[in-house]
Amino acid sequence: MNTPPDFVFSFNHQKNRIIRLNETESTNDFAKQLQMQPFENEVIIIADYQTKGRGNAGNSWESESGKNLTFSIILKPHFLEPSLQFLLNKVIALGIYDFVSDKLNSSNVKIKWPNDIYVGNKKIAGTLIEHSIIGSQLEKSIVGIGININQTVFTSNAPNPISLSNITNAVYPLKDTLIQLMNFIFIRYQELKDKKIKQLDIDYLNQLYCLNEYKTYNYQGEKIKASIQGVNKFGQLQLLSENNNLISCSFKEIEFDL
């Protein structure tokens, strides 16, 4: 499937192909089918409307046509060991966090593990990352991002959505907003390329939603009270229970009781 670029986005003097679709089932699925030339840099696929937009754990993503940013980035992080792939989650989450914080000029923006972005107790953005590993190399990563921009009414059973327009009462031009967001993401991606791992780890930890706060979680079929202590290098959430047990959780093993 070869399609011409809708427009080109440049970062650090490097041109990146952007493909715009009126409608598709899922930009991640479209990205998997796209035939890329080996010399191409990062590719961004953006859709005005996704009929089957996906989130983590099989969840769907509600987005009114032409109101929000729903897109996928094709990255080739060959420099990153597959065992350290969660660093890419941190990079994407921090890039979106930086963008939303800049737009709102607010300290009320947080990263809800593993990579959702919250404003207060409401979700403004989510990410689904799918990796392709060949041998010992992270060959390709498809990063699907949904971020609520101009939609003001949400009708699905999602418990807590919010948009930039809900908060600011402003309307944002989507093309310019996409380029602004991509700048923030690629700045963080360049930090990963430059091996600024310690700084990425610190920044991610400092912005974690509910860090060091005792909350109720659903864990292995039971409700527990625990506080988030951090995230290990494999992306597992580190919780300290009320009786001082350290619990390491993968994504599908734990659920916030919001």
Cα angle 213, 215, 216; round to 5: 165
Whether 133 is in a domain gets the answer: yes
Q: Mean pLDDT for each consecutive 10-residue tract of the chain (258 residues)?
A: 58 76 90 70 87 60 85 93 95 98 92 96 95 89 96 83 96 94 95 97 97 93 93 95 92 83
Q: Mind listing the pLDDT tens digit for each residue in 29-83?
A: 999 888 666 546 788 999 988 887 655 555 566 778 889 999 999 999 999 999 9
Whether 85 is in a domain gets the answer: yes
Which residues pair with residue 169 across a beta bridge?
none
Residues 6+ positions from 201 with CB-CB distance below 8 Å: 90
- The CATH number linked to 233 is 2.30.30
CB 141 within 8 A of CB 130: yes
Q: How many distinct structural domains can be found in the chain? A: 2
Sign of the CA dihedral running 106, 47, 189, 177: negative
146 and 220 both lie in a single domain: no
- From the number of C-beta atoms within 10 Å of its C-beta (0-12, 13-18, 19+), residue 80 rates as buried
Q: Is the pTM of this model over 0.75?
A: yes
- 92: its two tokens: 């994407």
113 and 200 both lie in a single domain: yes
Q: Which domain holds residue 249?
A: 214-256
